[in-house]
Amino acid sequence: MKPHLAVVAFLLLLPTAAHAEATRIYSLQGADCESCADKVRAELKKVKGVKKVDFDKQKVEITVRLDETVSDADVTAAVERAGLKAVVGPGHGAYLPAEKYPPGSDMKVLSKDGSAVGKLDRLRVADKYTVFDVYAEWCGPCRFVDARLREVVATRKDVAVRKLNVVDFDTPLAKELGSRIEALPYVIVFDPAGKRTDIVGADFGKLDKALGVTR
């Protein structure tokens, strides 16, 4: 093969600049659950040049592998079609904030960051039903439980709610709760006499029964 033909053949084998790949991070805002990322992935798959999308549920960020020809505007527009907002770069991800409890409610946050709190039976409120609501910001069903508890305390002065943000299943709080915490939502109810009821999932029937609600 002539030298100049060999050079041409070699150049043809090189990837063109138009198809060079990049990895970018985008912060998501407005999500209320981990599964919101599935909608984002679905929309981004429709964008030509997007190769892979990974979601960090703690940082609320997506890492996108894509062709350099894909603009930030292409990505943010796809995220908006999924119902969320994207900010270019890391460090700005956030879930929707929790709704506020009615004024005068007996509600306290005992753990905001997955830190241990000690034995729950020692933290229950005397002469009240005490609900320990174990949740995480990325847990969609946890928000349904939270809404139900807000309804309860709005009319029940004999119910106290104590919020425990477990963050994830490897935190000190999760380890303290032990094997009982199989999934989220996870709710522990102590009645005024100290009887304990553990509820896994958004089981409102079991929750109402534990709170002495008759139907």
Q: Which fold has domain 107-210?
A: Glutaredoxin (3.40.30)
Of the CATH numbers 3.30.420.130, 3.30.70.100, 3.40.50.720, 3.30.43.10, which one belongs to the domain with range 19-95? 3.30.70.100
**Tell me, what amino acid is at 98?**
A
Which structure tokens are listed for 143? Answer: 């928000």
Q: What is the pLDDT of residue 100?
A: 95
pLDDT at 18: 56
| Lookup result for tokens 């933290």 | 123
SS (H, E, C) the chain: CCHHHHHHHHHHHCCCHHHCEEEEEEEEEEECCCCHHHHHHHHHHCCCCEEEEEEECCCCEEEEEEECCCCHHHHHHHHHHCCCEEEEECCCCEECCCCCCCCCCCEEEEECCCCCCCCHHHCCCCCCEEEEEEECCCCHHHHHHHHHHHHHHHHCCCEEEEEEECCCCCCHHHHHHHHHCCCCCEEEEECCCCCEEEEECCCHHHHHHHCCCCC
Domain boundaries, the chain: 19-95, 107-210
> In the 3-class helix/strand/coil scheme, how is 29-61 assigned residue by residue?
EEECCCCHHHHHHHHHHCCCCEEEEEEECCCCE
Provide the residue-wise pLDDT of the chain in tens; the chain has 215 residues.
555 555 445 545 555 555 699 999 999 999 999 999 999 999 999 999 999 999 999 999 999 999 999 999 999 999 999 999 999 999 999 999 999 999 999 999 999 999 999 999 999 999 999 999 999 999 999 999 999 999 999 999 999 999 999 999 999 999 999 988 889 999 999 999 999 999 999 999 999 999 998 76
Q: Evaluate whether 95 touches 31 at the Cβ level (below 8 Å).
A: yes
pLDDT at 14: 53
What does pTM read for this prediction?
0.85
Query: CA nearest 134: which of 187, 173, 66?
Result: 187
What is the model's pLDDT at position 114? 97
Output the pLDDT for position 179: 84
